[in-house]
Amino acid sequence: MDNTLWSGRVLGDKKDMDTDTKALRELADSIAANSTLNKTLLPIRDGLLVVRRRSI
């Protein structure tokens, strides 16, 4: 997924409740909480999140 850092707004001021910023935060929290996924955040440019389902 591209633009996961959203110009730093996702990790920045928690008072920033822009609709897009809020949606990206919620998606990131959901992915982080899912133990069936391997995830890697590449902090290049606006962020690239690589997510893959773990093999059983």
Rg over CA atoms, the chain: 12
- pLDDT computed for residue 9 by the predictor: 76
- Dihedral pair phi/psi, residue 3, rounded to 5°: 65, 35
Compute CA 51 distance to the chain's CA centroid, rounded to the nearest angstrom: 10
Q: Where are the domains of the chain?
A: 6-53
Whether the CB-CB separation of 29 and 42 falls below 8 Å is answered with no
pLDDT of 2 over the 90 cut: no
At residue 51, the pLDDT reads 95
- pTM value is 0.76
Q: What is the pLDDT of residue 5?
A: 83
- For 3-51, what is each residue's pLDDT tens digit? 888 877 777 777 767 888 888 889 989 999 999 999 999 988 888 999 9
